[in-house]
Structure 1
């Protein structure tokens, strides 16, 4: 393996960027290639394919403001990161560098371009992220999860291939579990997740919605909810008073299996979440994160909603009353839940990692 070509995978340190990189890495390694991850310090929190000796960290900085001081700081940090990435490229001599979005991808992709190393970026969102937009004109090829993302730019569209979002083995295993609609008097398994930026609103709204449900439905409810430590006491107090069957935790390491076991999901609509809901095929109520410049989560949720696999609710309309009404209506119509699960499946691409690996080997000419 020491003589096998090396592919460097560059990703921001969040699950939405790291998980597709991990999924591609699994396939590339099965094909006999070596992989390493270039990222920031946040990636060390994630366990998976990349052990510590497979990770290289480079300095990076998000654009946090438009003042001369903020822009200057960002420029200095990214410059230092690019210098370190140049040294890394010269030492490792990768056959290609693949970026998955986030500002930590900028230094390694800038360095690869300067050294004329083949480059490819993958974007999971319905609207291309800002870091990938900065890189898009200079890379060798572009992969997107969804069709039509770059149709308005013919020059970029000409080097773009729709591959889908690469799925980790745990998601592929979960996708093999068929959807089972709730029986008339059987349990309704509700999963509520929010991610680092979304769990607070779920803690604010979901308990109040559950309180409004009919007692007969409450007795059937089996709830699993991601709750931040600082919100745990108040959320648990409501569910204890209702004598609700529930499991609450700040983080679920086995989330793919929990998605597969659920009959309805309430969630934010990050690119990774939408892709996993499509791959596994589960009905959902999606609440896009507001305030994003590109409204990417709103567009992501629209992909599932337009297919019939999800209900999209803007955060301004996400009230306990609205959520309770949606849950009650879906619980009363198991056939609709089944149809939504089937519709969500039409969005998923289970072969995305293989398709992206094919692109990588073409770009790297190996």
Structure 2
């Protein structure tokens, strides 16, 4: 029987306050709300930029710090902050008494998952990438289940492999509205939509690289090309000036609220390969040239990109190997290979998991309904 006083319809989600962690958490929240659950969110102060649409009754900001092994002199302060976060999370969870907690990685999820485990609250973690993040590697030992966006999950501790559940990476409802939108082929004399985007580092790289590429494209390609590109605010005028001297249509912005629509409109996407990007490309079904974030600790973006590329859904272009000349030649060839682009769109769509949020919600509900006799009080 379940412990008395537990809130039988309350689930707490814990995630770092960036889009990569919050977007799948939001998708799960939307699925659980549809099933009649109430949601509380534990995160950090970055939620102000990404969490406006999060369907939580209340958001709790929990102290957290990223462990940086390369700077051992910071370790005592980082551990102290994490401990403060643990105490804060434990106090909130002991008061709320949720039926389950789901963590989405990043060190802000560290204190809530540890606190939930210590309090006897069933918990799972979800890892968005093909290679498990450092925080989740530790947390997997405390979690009752480990959900993965990919069929295999690199660096999952051996003793935790029995907990693994393949759910896919949840995408928000705004993405599902464009699920499987038919790919629109573009003949040589028709408009060709090229979408370019990345996180802040990706936007900076593409702002420097793409103008050099486009000025090398033949006029026959430029004439029907429309570029939609995400740029950092400080780069927009410079990129605008570079594109203004070329015979092409373009639109630049630091943020596109309708990004799923932009993906659906594209004949080709050029992007980084974060987990949410890979998931959205699959659900919508669009071909992509992926330039993984270089120097990432575990090369997680490279592993994400290779998964999609190996299945025929796109092409991987390591940033260190790119030259404007070779990339311009590649784009010129690809522009006229309509069958190849359409085939990549179909391959990407075949890998998409539009039901990932529901599959993850099933995992959470299974945990929530586990018989438990636990005294969730401070000790």
> Which category describes the TM-score, using the shorter chain as reference length?
over 0.9
Alignment size in residue pairs: 365
**Aligned residue in 2 for 1:194:** 198
Alpha carbons 1:79, 1:107 under 8 Å: kept: yes
Distance 1:280 1:326, change over 3 A: same
Correspondence 1:33 to 2:37? yes
Equivalent residue runs for 1:71-150 within 5 Å: 71-149=75-153
Structure 2 partner of 1:279: 283
Q: Is the 8 A contact 2:29 2:55 kept in 1?
A: no
Is residue 171 of structure 1 aligned with residue 179 of structure 2?
no
- Candidates 227, 230, 234, aligned match of 2:234: 230
Aligned with residue 305 of structure 2, among 298, 301, 313: 301
* C-alpha separation in 1, matches of 2:309 and 2:52: 31
Given the alignment, which residue of 339, 346, 350 partners 1:346? 350
Report the counterpart of residue 359 of structure 2 in structure 1.
355
Residues 26-71 of structure 1 deviation map (CA, whole Å, 9 limit, x = unaligned): 1101111111111001011125542685211101111234444311
Alpha carbons 1:143, 1:160 under 8 Å: kept: yes
User: TM-score normalized by structure 1?
Assistant: 0.96
TM-score, L = length of structure 2: 0.93
- Contact 1:5-1:94 within 8 A present in 2 as well: yes
- The answer to whether the 8 Å contact 1:38/1:55 transfers is yes
Report deviation, 1:175.
1.4
Is the deviation greater in 219-228 or in 154-163? 154-163
Deviation at 1:127, TM superposition (A): 0.3
CA 1:154/1:52 → structure 2, altered by over 3 Å: closer, same or farther?
A: closer
Residues 3, 89 of structure 1: CA spacing in aligned structure 2 closer, same or farther, 3 A cutoff?
closer
> Matched residues in 1 for 2:7 and 2:93: separation?
16
List 4+ stretches of structure 1 deviating above 3 A: 64-68, 150-154
Task: Give the match for residue 256 of structure 2.
Answer: 252
Provide the rounded CA distance (Å) in 2 between the counterparts of 1:312 and 1:211.
22
Distance in 2 between the 1:117 and 1:53 partners? 19
Q: Which moved more, 1:52-61 or 1:163-172?
A: 52-61
1:259-284 alpha-carbon deviations (Å, 9 max, x no partner): 11111000001111111111111001
Mark the runs of 5 or more structure 2 residues left unpaired by the alignment: 1-5, 371-379
Give 3-state SS (helix, strand or coil) of 2:42's partner: strand
Distance 1:155 1:209, change over 3 A: same
Question: How many angstroms apart in 1 are the aligned matches of 2:232 and 2:331?
Answer: 23
Q: Deviations over 1:91-137 (max 9, x none)?
A: 11111110011110001011101111111000111101111111011
Q: Say yes or no: does 1:216 pair with 2:236.
A: no
